[in-house]
Amino acid sequence: MRKQVDATAVAIMVALCLAWGLQQVAIKAVAGDIPPMLQIGLRSGVAAALVWLFNQLVSRERWLPGVARGAGLVTGGLFALEFVFVAMGLRWTNASHMAVFLYTAPMFAAIGLHVRLPDERLARFQWGGIAIAFTGIAITFLGPALLGADIPGSPLWLLGDFMGLCAGAAWGLTTVVVRTSRLSEAPATQTLFYQLAGAFVVLVPFAFLTGQAHFHGTPLALASLAFQTLLVSFVSYLVWFWLLRRYLAARLGILSFMTPLFGVAFGVVLLHERVEPAFLFGSALVLLGLLVVNAQSWVRQAFGRRAANANGAQAS
């Protein structure tokens, strides 16, 4: 039985969200030395090998047979598509923008699961949260243009933001595929391996075909690549799956919304990115809407526990 979130889980989640929030900044900071497409492809390939070795030598979990060519292939493809959008989007938009739009994934996952699984039907309360999130997305896209704000960086920033939103949609669809296929019964290492291997197989050739394969091994570039590979793609994902097995997923999901907040903060502090008021307001609505969508199960658990305690008190 999964436990309530305790101080240990909160501390681990803060560390994970810090790492996840920093990854977009780490990619953007060394994009001149190693293009984002190649960075993500290389880190995924090395991390996939590490996950396979970890399973063979440490966890020794038995992988489900017969899923590699079905759900495994689809999951790997969607994971690769997510990071194609991330890599392309970071060429035109800020890392802080990407951090917010990428984490719209729970909204797309909730809609997809509503369609595919009867037990995942959205209540009116949750549809209200999705409406709030979509309103926030509209404001982040249209607000700066309508207000005549001077957007720094690439003139294609709006396309970069849209790529971030597409990355969030691909991530959300990945969740739907995992939840509605045999991969929902597979060990975490198996699912993670398919995702990382898919990103490596797609992104590295794509980087070479599109002229994004130059590699300047500066100390900062190598440090960024090591951080992304070891801490983000390998350690953090395995720790996340470990948490999901031991703690209530709804509570962990709510804590994960610290990630885009850290992402925006890192972008401003480390990359000196300017964040427009319209973007901040729209992002706040996006996060509020996603919290409303994901808080439904938390509210049910809280009220169910209170009801059980009240019944127990009456019986005594």
pLDDT digits (tens, 9 = 90+) for 239-263: 988 887 788 766 777 788 889 989 9
CA distance 97 to 283: 9
Q: At what angle do helices 258-271 and 95-102 cross, to 10 degrees?
A: 170
Residue 307 confidence (pLDDT) above 60: no
Q: pLDDT tens digits, residue range 216-227?
A: 999 999 999 999
261 within a domain of the structure (yes/no): yes
> With DSSP H G I counted as helix, E B as strand and the rest as coil, what are the percentages for the chain, rounded to 5?
80, 0, 20
60 within a domain of the structure (yes/no): yes
Domain boundaries, position 161: 7-309
User: pLDDT category, 32, cuts 50, 70, 90?
Assistant: very high
23 within a domain of the structure (yes/no): yes
Those residues with Cβ within 8 angstroms of residue 149's Cβ, 6 or more apart along the chain or in another chain: 143, 276, 277, 278
- Would you state the structure tokens that stand for residue 297, as one six-digit string? 């199960």
Number of structural domains, the chain?
Answer: 1
25 within a domain of the structure (yes/no): yes
Count of CB atoms situated within 10 Å of the CB of 209: 10
74 within a domain of the structure (yes/no): yes
| Mean pLDDT, residues 132-140 | 88
* Residue 3, strand partner residues: 247
2 within a domain of the structure (yes/no): no
Q: pLDDT tens digits, residue range 267-303?
A: 999 998 888 888 888 889 998 888 887 776 555 555 4
Please report the pLDDT score of residue 146 as a whole number: 60
Residue 316 confidence (pLDDT) above 50: no
- Would you state the structure tokens that stand for residue 82, as one six-digit string? 């997510």
